[in-house]
Structure 1
Amino acid sequence: MDERAGKIGERVCLVPWAEGDLWLLRRTNSPEMTAHVGGPETEKQLAARHRRYADLEPGRMYRVTSADGGETVGSIGYWQRTWQGTEVWETGWAVLPEFQGRGLAVRAARAVRDAARADGTHRYLHAFPSVDHAASNAVCRGAGFTLLGQVDFEYPKGHWIRSNDWRVDLERGD
């Protein structure tokens, strides 16, 4: 039996990104963790991203923790983006390897969906995982996003990928 099977019902908490959270960006900066988003960043790029996360507005970045044990399991957030001529929220996440496969990313995506809805600024929340990133696409499906189709998406700047455009209508609740 998989020892993680008992953790399937594990709950998560979203903790607002803070000054002390740069370590988490460093932990997720491996070739394996960044394969679908352009590869690892330099220390200077990580520091700049940490600053953006800490100062993010509108929107918010979070450190995801296990509600049951308090361990940090990853990060998630939502931020403003102009998409197809409309201002929307975009979301993205990373779960540390030792916590993957427990459904924690789905729970975090549901929680960030609720946070974006409570913000009340935009009607739609989008996620743009690479078409070949099976795990992130499964998170979108499990968190109640609707697949709109494939798009060419620039992330990071200067790096184009083929992505799925997943969306939640925050006003309708789906």
Structure 2
Amino acid sequence: MERTEASSVRIEPWSDSDLELLRRANAPELMNHLGGPESDEQLTGRHSRYVALSADRTGRGRMFRITLPGEAEGVGTIGFWERTWQGQEVYETGWAVLAEFQGRGIASAATAAVAEQARAEHKHRYLHAYPSVENGASNGVCRKAGFSLMGECEVEYPPGHPLLTNDWRLDLHPER
């Protein structure tokens, strides 16, 4: 399959119609670094939170579906949301690209696009990502998108389950 040009990757606000995309992104091979697939009940709750976050205009964050020209359905998910990290309010980002679309630069392009969305909020200075230390592909996305590796850390994901991750940080407003 031909490599996708980064400029053709788009992110579109999450909507009520995106539940099936979330189900497709819940595949075992996409969730193996995140504690495994979620139940349908958990996915429905997550979808409701994504819809609410995307409708919120207070700068708490946004969720998006990743799209490509010529593809009728979304090819992945990405977003950013607020969290407190080491006593500071920051944004966190996370993504999933469906298996059949991986290895084409889609996640890196979508991450750059979501960083621009977070930057446009003018609310928090930093955007963090916390991929598992064992997830080479997601750590590569962070590197390619210009994040700086701050070091290893432990986060709970899913809640109640410790996960050894890398803390990647992108300065949204380096001029400050």
Question: Does the 8 A contact of 1:10 with 1:104 survive in 2?
Answer: no
Aligned length: 169
* Alignment pair present for 1:44 and 2:41: yes
Tell me the distance in 2 between the aligned counterparts of 1:164 and 1:9.
Answer: 25
* Alignment pair present for 1:116 and 2:113: no
Unaligned runs of 5+ in 1: none
Unaligned runs of 5+ in 2: none
Task: Read off the aligned partner of 1:96 and give its amino acid letter.
Answer: L
Percent identity of equivalent pairs:
55
SS at match of 2:38: coil
Q: Deviations over 1:115-164 (max 9, x none)?
A: 00001110000000000000000000010100000001111101111000
Tell me the distance in 1 between the aligned counterparts of 2:147 and 2:6.
Answer: 20
Tell me the distance in 2 between the aligned counterparts of 1:32 and 1:166.
Answer: 23
Task: Read off the aligned partner of 1:105 and give its amino acid letter.
Answer: A
RMSD: 1.3
Tell me the distance in 2 between the aligned counterparts of 1:28 and 1:101.
Answer: 16
Tell me the distance in 2 between the aligned counterparts of 1:9 and 1:25.
Answer: 22
Tell me the distance in 1 between the aligned counterparts of 2:137 and 2:11.
Answer: 20
Tell me the distance in 1 between the aligned counterparts of 2:2 and 2:99.
Answer: 13
TM-score (norm 2): 0.92
Q: 2:138 aligns with which of 108, 126, 136?
A: 136
> What's the offset of the Cα at 1:54?
0.5
Q: Deviations over 1:32-55 (max 9, x none)?
A: 110011111111100000001011
Moved over 3 A (4+): none
